[in-house]
Amino acid sequence: MKFLVINGPNINLLGIREPEIYGREDYAELCRRVNARAAELGTEVEIFQSNHEGDIVDKIQSAYGKADGIIINPAAYTHTSVAIRDALAAVGIPAVEVHISDVNSREGFRKLNYISEVCLGSVNGRGIKGYTEAMDMLFAELNGGKTL
């Protein structure tokens, strides 16, 4: 089983950016946790981050026929990007959306979400452990409901 983890703009600045919202753990720690959970689940994982919408669309397209599941935090593009939504719908790879913060209890503009509808689940406001929870969700989904 192969997972692709995609992070959008400014997620590379974890630990620096608004730590009261996004926590003090940095991007390297996020990658470490994702890799550790993949090893426990016995899955392969690739982690990708970009600040550019088109690069994220290209990455989703390139996963077609290769990745079994996508974990995506589109960051600010969640609230703006029809292109990322359409790419996820186009490839049809089961996807789970992650937000480190609880987007529904923040500014009004964050309630507009183009991504949720094309994902089988969302993990919101769980900090960076939301990524490993999303991996577990996807693993169970692809494994006929069986967890580790």
Which residue stretch of 44-52, 62-70, 74-82, 139-147 sits at the interface with ligand DQA (rule: CB under 6 A)?
74-82
Which residue stretch of 28-36, 39-47, 72-80, 85-93 sits at the interface with ligand DQA (rule: CB under 6 A)?
72-80
Closer CB to ligand DQA, 104 or 143, in the complex: 104
Work out the burial of residue 117: count CB atoms within 10 Å of its CB; fewer than 13 is exposed, 13-18 middle, 19 or more buried.
Answer: exposed
Closest distance of CB 144 from ligand DQA, Å = 29
Which residues, at least 6 apart from 68, have a Cβ–Cβ distance to it below 8 Å? 1, 2, 3, 93, 94, 142
Q: What is the rounded CA–CA span in Å between residue 101 and residue 126? A: 7
Longest dimension (CA), the chain: 39
By the rule CB under 6 A, 75 interacts with ligand DQA? yes
By the rule CB under 6 A, 56 interacts with ligand DQA? no
Alpha carbon of 52 to those of 2, 40, 58, 112, 131: distances in Å? 24, 31, 10, 20, 21
Closer CB to ligand DQA, 10 or 68, in the complex: 10
Closer CB to ligand DQA, 43 or 78, in the complex: 78
Lookup result for tokens 């991007």: 27
Query: How big is the chain, counted in residues?
Result: 148
Per the residue annotation, which of 77, 99, 114, 131 is the catalytic one?
A: 99
Q: Report the catalytic residues.
A: 22, 99
Residue ranges binding ligand DQA (CB under 6 A): 10, 73, 75-76, 78, 99-101, 103, 110
